[in-house]
Amino acid sequence: IFLFRATPGTGQGYSYWAIDKLGFDQQFLGLLAQASSVLSLVGLLVFRKTIIERPVSFTLAWVVVAGTILYVPNIGLFYGLHEWLGVSARTLAFIDTTISAPLAQLLMVPMLILIARSAPPGAEATMFAIMASWMNLALSASELFTQYLNDVFQVTQADYSNLGQLMITVTVIGLLPLVALPLLRRYEGEAAQPH
């Protein structure tokens, strides 16, 4: 889960490009952000039973794979997919947001379940505080990795010609949490055994 939270994003380069090249304005970007927040909550409600009943490793695996697949339309926007499909960039961006928005929040519930199941009796609050600190550390790492990749690919407000390469790199890096799944599955197996 730490690896999932620590994966880098594209940073502000995507927003600069979307405003300059696609004609998105702050109002539309705000609408996408609001839609994403609302749909994240809806996703939690719709998938709550599956999330609670299935192992964390299962949820992590499908969130990572689905998130990777659902990020492809963003890459497609950069390379003109909307023109090829004959739809507006706003329409494609809105559809993509509606489909992919719930994924990020879906992983929070299994993390909380993992904390509750693994915490020694009476130490649940302490474990939650420790895990929250780890998640904050992961988010900070994500921001640092994002900035580093933007520097490497030289994506700035003035030049986002390498944004497509950055987006593809971020997508591939986003698959890295799958490498840790065997370790998580082993831990889940050990935790499920009676002591």
* pLDDT on residue 195: 53
Q: What pTM was computed for the model? A: 0.85
* pLDDT on residue 99: 77
Buried b / exposed e over 93-126, threshold 16 CB at 10 Å, is beebbeebbbbebbbebbbebbbeeebeeeeeee
CATH fold label, 2-190: Growth Hormone; Chain: A; (1.20.1250)
Per-residue pLDDT tens digits for 40-98? 888 888 888 887 788 888 888 988 898 899 889 899 999 999 899 999 999 988 888 87
**Is-contact 14 22, C-beta < 8 A?**
no
Q: Is 159 or 55 the better-scoring residue by pLDDT?
A: 159
pLDDT band for position 194 (cuts 50, 70, 90)? low
